[in-house]
Chains A and B, each alone.
Chain A
Amino acid sequence: MSNPNVRIDNERVERFLYDEASFLDRPDLDRWIELYTDDGTYWMPAVEDQVDPINHISLFYDDRVLMEIRRRNFVHPRAASKDYKVRCSHIISNVRSEISDDGSLTVTSNFQCVVYYNGKQTLYAGNYVHELLQADDSFKIRHKRVNLINCDGVLGSIIIYL
Chain B
Amino acid sequence: MTYSDSELDGFVAPTKINRRVYTDEKIFDLEMERIWGKAWLFIGHESQVPEAGDYTTLNIGRMPIVMVRDKALKVHVLHNRCGHKGAKLVDKPCGKIGGFRCCYHGWTYRLDGKLLGVPHMTGYEETGFNKDDPQYSMQKLAKYESYRGFVFATFDSNAPDLRAWLGGAGDVLDNLCDRSPEGEVEVAGGVLKYEHECNWKMFIENLNDTMHPMVVHRSVVDAANSFISTLPEDSPHRDEAEIIPPFGASYENFEATGITGFRYGHHYDGGKSSIHANYSVDPEYEAAMIAAYGKERTREILTFNTHNTLYYPSLTIKSAIQNIRIVRPVSVDRCVVETWSFRLKGAPDSMLQRTILYSRLINSNGSMVGPDDLTAYFRMQQGLQSTASEWVEMHRNYGSDEDLGDRWTNKGTSDLDMRSQYGAWRHYMLGEAV
Contact = CB atoms under 8 A, between A and B. Distances in A.
A107 interface: no
Contacts of B195: 154-156
Nearest to A72: B223
Contacts of A68: 227
Contacts of B226: 72
A86 B286 CA distance: 45
A59 interface: yes
Nearest to A162: B366
Contact of B368 (A56, A70, A154): A70
Contact of B353 (A54, A76, A78): A54
Contacts of B227: 65, 68-69, 72
Interface string A145-162: 000000011111111000
B219 A79 contact: yes
Contacts of B238: 65
B108 to A, nearest CB: 29
On chain A, which size bracket covers the interface? Answer: 35 or more
Contacts of A100: none
A153 B338 CA distance: 11
B257 interface: no
B356 A69 contact: no
A interface secondary structure, majority: loop
B374 A81 contact: yes
Interface residues of B, number: 43
B220 interface: yes
Given A72-B223, A159-B371, A59 B366 contact: yes
B189 interface: yes
Contacts of A57: 189-192, 339, 341, 356, 359-360, 364
Residue from A58, A69, A158 having most chain B Cβ neighbours under 10 A: A69
B374 to A, nearest CB: 6
A76 B223 contact: yes
16 contacts: A46-B191, A47-B190, A55-B352, A57-B192, A57-B360, A60-B366, A66-B240, A69-B220, A69-B227, A71-B223, A72-B226, A72-B227, A76-B218, A79-B220, A156-B365, A157-B194
The 5 closest A-B pairs by CB, nearest first: A79-B219, A76-B219, A72-B223, A73-B223, A157-B371
